Every structure is written in C-alpha cells, then in structure tokens.
Amino acid sequence: MFLYFFSTRLQTLLLLTSFSLLLFLLLLLLRSSPTSFTVTSAASSPPSPSPTSLRHLLFGIASSSKSWPRRKELLRLWWRPGLARGIVFLDSPLNSSASGGVDHTLPPTSVSADTSRFPYSYKGGRRSAIRVARIVKELVEIAGDSEVRWIVLGDDDTVFVLENLVGTLAKYDWEGWWYIGGRSEIVEQNVKHSFGMAFGGAGIAISYPLARVLANVLDSCLVRYPHLYGSDARIFACLAELGVELTHEPGFHQVDLRGDISGLLSAHPLAPLVSLHHLDFVNSLYPDMNQTMALKHFFEAVNADPGRILQQTVCYDRLKSRTLSISWGYVVQLFEGNLVLTDLLSVPKTFTQWKRSRNTSSDVYMFNSKEYSRDQCKRPAIFFLKSVSAGKDKIESNYSRHFWRKCSLIPNSTRSPLLIRVSSQRLNDTVGKASRRHCCDVLPSSSGFIMKIDIRKCKDNELIAMQP
C-alpha cells in the first residue's frame, strides 16, 4: 500500500515537472522569435482597402440627341478612354449621320428610359429634368455589385479635372452616405432653389451605398415633386427625405455667370479646381482664341499640373514697388504699388449675372467681390498663359502681355515686361491635408522685357506681404 501511494505521487510530480519544463521552453521560443509571431498575426488581419482611383467612379452625363454632336468635343478634352467609365444619356437615338459610328475615345451613349408617367408642373420648365434625375437610378442598375464607389453626375457642357475630382472624393469614406457638390455663385439662385442643393452643372457626387438607396426610392420622390424645376432639385429633395445634407466642396463650379469670367478664375479659392460649367455662355478664356482653342490651351496647363491649376499665388517686387497675383495656368496680374493680400482675394466683377436684371439688389454673390474698373487704362497689366512645359524637376509656364485695345496709355513702370516666366514644382497630392497658399520670388533677369518668378512653399514664419 505504501509503495503504491509513493509510486503514484512520484508519477504526479514527474508529470508536473515535465509540463512546467515544456511551458518554459515554449515561452522561451516565443521570446526568441518575435518575427514569426508578428508575420502570423499580420497575415490573419484583413487587407487594407485600396485608395479611391478613377476606376472607382462611374459617370452619368446628361445630354440630348440635339446637343451631343456639338458637345462631345468638349467632353473629349477631359475624358480618359480606357480609364474613365461612364455613359452619356440621350433623350432619343442619334440619327446615322450624327452618330458617326462607335467612337472608343468617348463614353458610350444610351437612350434614357421613358418617364412620361411622371407628372411635371413647373411652368416654362422642361420635363427632361425627370429623365435626367433618373440617370442615377439607371447607373446603379447597370453597375450592380461592381467596384464602383462613387456615382458622378454632370452635364454635357461640364468639364472635370479628373485628378482633382478623384482626390477630393478620396477624402471621404465612400462606404458612408455622402452627397457632394457645389452651389451657384449667385445668392438669388440659391435662394430660389436652395442653399442645400448641389447644382447639377457643377457636378454631383454620390457615394455608391447612398446611390443604391436613392435608386430604390427615387421614383416615389419624383411623384411628390412635380413642381420643381430641374433634375438636381429632385435629387436634392429625395436625399433630404433620406436625411442626407449636402457636403459643399468649393472646387465644383456651376458658373451661373455670363461674359468675362476672368475675375472668378483669377481669384480661385484655395481648393483644387474640380469642374467648370456653362462654358458655352461665357467669353473665351483666353483673348484672340475661340472657346474650343482656349479650352484646349487651358487643358495643356491642367495636364501639366492639375493640382496647381488656377491656384492663386501673390508675391511682391520690392525694388520696383509692384504686386503680382498669379492664377497658375491662366493669368498673371501686375499691379502698381503695394497691395495687401486680402485686397487680392476678392473676386473682381468682370462678369454679369446669369439672368439679366435691372434689379441691382440681386447682384449679390456667394464670395467676396469688388468692382472692376471700366477704364481699361486703370486696370492692372494682364499676362495670359502662352505656353507650359514640364521638365524633370520644374514646370515652366510663360505668360504674355495682353494690351487693352481701348487703352493707348501704358504706364512707364509696367511697359517693360512683355513676358512673365514662372517656374514651379508639381503640386502633388495635398487634398485632404491642411492647405496653405504658396509664396513666390521675383528673380533677377538679364532682359528688361522678361520677368522671372519662382513659386515655392512658404517658410514656417513667412508672411505674404511686402517686406521692408
């Protein structure tokens, strides 16, 4: 009995000792090989989602069989065949002469579904607004469960800067419910249609999960809003019923303006240019060019540095007491004397209202504006983009002097420069980061007729002001 008891206790002791030794060796092994443990842990975690790119966007372009033949050249300026995806929606089939066969450099066309069953009661409006609103529904039905993250709506006279559009949308979690776009430039238009509405010509971006829900309920909303004017108003009303509000991005431009919009473009907000609309209704962007040539010229600068296009930089020529405002890729303005920065951030009213009216109280805009001298001789010296070239480290853009035809008087101090040469580095992805305006320096030049400027990042404590 004693021997049996002793033998049992001895076996138990040996088992406990063996277990403790195995545990010790296991802990020692884990401490000595942390790499293998880390790799196993990382391999078990889900892969991080890829960043939003152009392939994640699906465009719906509103057009008609009448306007598409002449507007498609405008879309060709910004469309990326093989990369961008989308459909142009028409009201009726193109005739054989207008279609010109399949053009793989442009998105395919499709005739919108019949909307005659929906009521429309806006006096003087166009019931095509209903079929255009339903583009989002038709796109969702086409997309299905593909990799689409954003539905982007625009008109056939809307031009997009695709890199800036993608960068702007990449700031947002596409799996959430987002309704993104721009308002009208005119207060009266926003009062009439709503400050919370994304205007369709500027472009509307809807995250795909929200677009799918919107597609499910859109037709019921269309029945309740026959009294609204446009397609964008109907989309806004339905999204409002879903409890979603507009996220305003200042790079989307409706351009509810007429005439010369150089004032608007020369004082662009500190945000990437995403879109421009109504370009058939404004003056040519560059003098002495028709609008088609001017837009091709403009997109040469866009393609060279999309992030910097229209970004305003202000610098000072202290020796000659002059101030320069550069709207990159578009225009340089040369002012006499020392103008403080805040005076240059206001938009000169070179344009007129979208709807002409004798009521001057309606001449109120969604930005700070200032009067523009009617006396051409009192305006700043203007230099429009002449050429742009991209090198390995620098981008060089040249701006040539524009002489007003009704002004023969040219001040001596601004007579000399005929060309302004601006060097800059490509403005890489800054979307989603805290933005800061860049600084610039006036460089020495061996020619009195050429002014050289270098754009650079401002130093930490540097102020954009005339230095003593």
User: What is the per-residue pLDDT for 376?
Assistant: 82
Residues forming a β-bridge with 151? 58, 206
SS3 assignment, position 57:
strand
- The pLDDT averaged over each successive group of 10 residues in the chain (468 residues) is 45 55 51 37 54 96 96 96 96 78 90 97 95 98 90 98 97 97 95 96 98 98 97 98 98 97 96 96 94 96 96 94 96 94 95 74 84 87 96 92 72 69 87 80 86 96 89
The two tokens of residue 198 are 């994304």
Chain centroid offset of residue 327 CA = 16
Calpha distance 79→47 (Å, rounded):
31
User: What is the per-residue pLDDT for 324?
Assistant: 97
User: What is the per-residue pLDDT for 32?
Assistant: 43
Concatenating the DSSP letter of every residue in 74-108 gives HHHHH--TTT-EEEEEESSPPPHHHH-S--TTS--
Beta-carbon-side half-sphere exposure of residue 402 (alpha carbons within 13 Å): 21
Calpha distance 263→255 (Å, rounded):
12
The two tokens of residue 151 are 């539905």
Read off φ and ψ for residue 297, nearest 5 degrees.
-65, -45
SS3 assignment, position 179:
strand
Measure Cα distances from 26 to 16, 30, 41, 125, 200 in Å. Answer: 15, 6, 18, 79, 65
Class of 54-248 in CATH: alpha beta
User: What is the per-residue pLDDT for 360?
Assistant: 53
Calpha distance 84→42 (Å, rounded):
34
